[in-house]
Amino acid sequence: MEVVLGQFEGVTTMRPLPLAAGLLVATARLRPELADVSFDILTRRIDPEAQADRIGTPAVLGLSLYTWNERYALAVAEVVKRRSPRTLIVVGGPSVPRPTLVSRAPHEPPGEALEAWLTAHRTVDVAVVGEGEATFADLLVHLRQAPDDHPVPVPIAGTVVRHGTTFVHGPPRPRLAAEAFDRTGSPYLDGTFDRFLESGEHGGDAPLACVFETNRGCPFSCTFCDWGQATESKVNELPLERVAAELRWAAVRGIPYAYFIDANFGIRRRDPAIIATLTDLYAETGAPRFVYFHLTKNATEKNLGNVLALKRAGIGTQVSLSMQDFDPGVLAAIRRDNIHPERALALRAACHREGLPTTNELLLGLPGQTLASVRRGVTQALTPFPGDSFFLYPTRLLPNAELASPAEVARHGLVTVEVPLLPLDPSRPHPLPERERIVVATSTLPAADWREAFVFGHALAAVHDQQLAPTTLHLLAWHLEVEVPRFIDALLDHAAGLRALLERFADATLAAEATTLVVRELGPRRVDPIEGAVAHVLIDPDGFFAAVSKAARAVVSSAQHALVTDAVAFDRATFARHRATTEMHTAEYDWLDYLARAGERPAPVPRRTSFRCEAIAPLPLEAHHAWFVANGWAKAARRGIHRQGAEGAESLI
């Protein structure tokens, strides 16, 4: 008996190991009845016909479906089914409607959404609902023992089975908890991922990232997310010994990036022990070098302790605040009002005291948002602390999330478009791009306001996150206490080309064309709005800084013109242009001292200062842009700046 698992990759550069498919295979291999079954895991995304050639005619094709691969995986299933009608197509994953949770209205039967989905996808024979390890193994055992002339299985627990034009629901399957995880396998520990890497399916490259889970469940039920609803809230732990062994598997192989997919890392009392395992492994092996997790939403002290332990060990991490908006009305509309903004802000302040940068992920298009509230929200995401950043993402309607239900869509007047998720690199074409359902208007945020909020938010994010004019922005916001929206509005007025570019990105989403665009001067690679804004500045830095100067002078008194003009001149002198040469400059204020104490909100000292900016090796614009953006996200210095000492000696600043 041959079984093929498809967990096809999406638009990603990290290319982590396929955890979902690996868990299914590892658990099935624990069953003695399946000892002679052969398993293959496929991840590469190639033409569906060519993929079907690779798949052949297995007894079972299992597909893990989510927004980044659903359309493609189902297209592959159609080809396989056409060629091999007896192959059983089994699907699972977050994109499969959950019959016990997806009732869209009081009168709608619980399984109606799933049956409608199965009717639309006629090649699917079996849908697995919820956690799949035990269900998939039971299904394979049933098929292994069934007579050859009866390939369609009976509906075991946790499945819905197609029988002609009807569907038969098996009983619900209890969630895995406590000792139940002992009956599931680990693809890291049983050789599944070793065999996968040896097969060459990963492309022959060592993986850059591994995905780990230490628990399942989420006590929150935010309407834009399907996490808490998917797991019915209760948090269940995987065995700690297994977690530690999986982390060691990755560390001894030098895999640099560890991504924990727990909904709320830090929520369990044992989580500091997991952090200790990571720090011990790093001391022993040098890996992982970076750890990312979704921190528990309200536990400020726990989160800080975990992050500080990683920092002290030398492991990189990023504190991500769980605030998709700061407005109380918006938070109530998305059932996030039990997550307190003041705790997130307290965590941010505590991180600053310890020298830790933070980031915040905001959403555009949430119920209750207005143009004014979005402008306030992205401004609240700013801090004077060097290294902080924020991201403004469009609100996506995810399968099974409450916000995607017709009732919620109607209640909030959501207007959506389906936008293709296009590959960034044209040399790696993506057959059948997926489509994201993006909110572009609500009853409180008309499309025109959404467009303006998009332009404003991304302009501010580009200037702040990519440090395009760091001294000027900091001076205006934190010393002169200018309202930041006034400055960004003035900048967009004077930098008409930047506004036009960001409007192009907004309009491409509104027209359901793409969320990324090609900037002609950068070549054929697609970029996101922040990268596009950076490209605009790199193409014409003199024009940009002329606009920054005009905008800054427009929002301060005439008595402050000399101060802001000197700040802009400093930003302009230290800007990392491509084809830059070593240059000497003089400023009327000591901006080097100012930036060194930026987190303290210092007053600029009127002290004539000479400084030298190191040369940057000339690069073509496309390569320089990639280098510039990468250093911006990493908050790394793009060029050396040296103070000219009184006796001619130079010291690195």
Tell me the per-residue pLDDT of 570-594, one tens digit each, with 9 for 90 and over: 999 999 987 778 889 999 999 999 9
| Of 217-226, 310-319, 410-419, the least confident | 217-226
How far is Cα 430 from Cα 422, in angstroms, rounded to an integer?
A: 7
Is the domain of 256 the same as that of 367? yes
Counting Cβ atoms within 10 Å, is residue 214 exposed (0-12), middle (13-18) or buried (19+)?
buried
pLDDT band at 650 (very low <50, low <70, confident <90, very high): low
Is residue 537 domain-resident? no
Quick one: 6 and 119 in the same domain? yes
Check whether residue 265 and residue 392 sit in a common domain: yes
What was the pLDDT predicted at 299?
Answer: 60
Mean pLDDT of all residues in 500-504:
98
Mean pLDDT of the chain: 89
Residue 290, class by beta-carbon neighbours within 10 Å (0-12 exposed, 13-18 middle, 19+ buried)? Answer: middle
Within-domain flag for 558: no
Q: Of 92-106, 121-135, 631-645, which one has max mean pLDDT?
A: 121-135
Domain membership of residue 169 (yes or no) is yes
Confidence at residue 107, expressed as pLDDT on a 0 to 100 scale = 43
pLDDT at 409: 95
- Give the DSSP per-residue string, 532-570: HHHHHHHH-HHHHHHHHHHHHHHTS-GGGHHHHHHHHHH
Task: Determine contact, residues 494/547, Cβ cutoff 8 Å.
Answer: yes
User: Which tens digit of pLDDT belongs to each residue from 319-329?
Assistant: 888 788 889 99
**Same-domain check for residues 114 and 239:** no
* Residue 51 domain boundaries: 2-181
Alpha-carbon gap, residue 333 to 317, rounded angstroms: 31
**Biggest distance spanned by C-alpha atoms of the chain:** 93
Residues 311 and 440 in one domain: yes
Q: How far apart are CA 533 and CA 469, in angstroms?
A: 13
In a domain, 198, yes or no: no
Residue 649 has what pLDDT?
Answer: 42
- Higher-confidence residue: 561 or 341? 561
Interhelix angle 484-494/496-510, rounded to 10 degrees, is 100
pLDDT > 90 in the chain, percent: 63
109 and 249 both lie in a single domain: no
Task: Give the residues across from 610 on adjacent strands.
Answer: 586
Looking at per-residue confidence, does 228 or 239 come out higher?
239
Percent of all residues in the chain with a pLDDT value above 70, rounded to a whole number: 93
Q: pLDDT per residue over 86-109, tens digit each?
A: 999 999 998 998 875 433 444 445
Residue 515 lies in a domain: no
Lowest average pLDDT, out of 170-174, 257-261, 271-275, goes to 170-174
Is pLDDT larger for residue 460 or for residue 143? Answer: 460
Whether the CB-CB separation of 599 and 564 falls below 8 Å is answered with no
Total domains in the fold of the chain: 2
Most confident of 233-242, 285-294, 363-372: 363-372
Question: Given pLDDT bands bounded at 50, 70 and 90, which one contains residue 652?
Answer: very low
- Give the residue with greater pLDDT, 467 vs 265: 467
Give the CATH number for residue 21: 3.40.50.2300
426 confidence band (pLDDT: 50, 70, 90): confident
Residue 177: pLDDT band (50, 70, 90) is confident
Handedness of CA 271, 273, 276, 277 (dihedral sign): negative
- The CATH number for 404's domain is 3.20.20.70
Amino acid 11: pLDDT: 64
Last residue of a domain, one of 181, 198, 233: 181
**Top-confidence residue, 103 or 3:** 3
Integer Cα distance of 92 and 125 in angstroms:
11
Look at residue 147 and tell me whether its pLDDT is greater than 70: no
- With DSSP H G I counted as helix, E B as strand and the rest as coil, what are the percentages for the chain, rounded to 5? 45, 15, 40
Place of tokens 């197509």: 89
Give the pLDDT of residue 379.
96
CA–CA separation, 576 vs 614, rounded Å?
A: 9
Q: Which residues contact 35 (CB under 8 A, 6 or more apart)?
A: none
Whether 86 is in a domain gets the answer yes
Residue 9's pLDDT band (cuts 50, 70, 90): confident
Encoded tokens for 617: 């090796």
pLDDT of amino acid 16: 87
How many angstroms separate the CA atoms of 561 and 107, rounded?
A: 65
Does 175 share its domain with 130?
Answer: yes
Same domain for 280 and 212:
yes
Q: Which residues contact 101 (CB under 8 A, 6 or more apart)?
A: 110, 229, 230, 232, 400
Q: What is the pLDDT at residue 42?
A: 95
In a domain, residue 473? The reply is no
**How far is the CA of 93 from the CAs of 20, 69, 613, in angstroms?**
8, 11, 52
Residues 319 and 448 in one domain: yes
pLDDT exceeds 90 at position 301: no
Q: What is the pLDDT of residue 412?
A: 97
Using 50, 70 and 90 to split pLDDT, how confident is the model at 461? Answer: very high
Position with higher pLDDT, 346 vs 11: 346
Size (the chain), residues: 653
Give the pLDDT of residue 302.
Answer: 76
- Of 36-50, 73-87, 106-120, which gets the smallest average pLDDT? 106-120
In angstroms, what CA-CA distances link 227 with 174, 222, 263?
17, 8, 7
177 shares its domain with 95: yes
For residue 526, give both structure tokens: 């697609």
Residues 159 and 295 in one domain: no
SS3 of 421-478: the string is: ECCCCCCCCCCCCEEEEEEEECCCCCHHHHHHHHHHHHHHHHHHHCCCCHHHHHHHHH
**pLDDT at res. 648:** 53
**Alpha-carbon span 110 to 390, nearest angstrom:** 39
Model confidence at 51: pLDDT above 80: yes
Instruction: Answer yes or no: do 308 and 453 share one domain.
Output: yes
Q: Which of 1-15, 91-105, 267-281 has the lowest mean pLDDT?
A: 91-105
Confirm whether 404 is domain-assigned.
yes
For residue 646, the model assigns a pLDDT of 55
Residue 367 amino acid letter: P
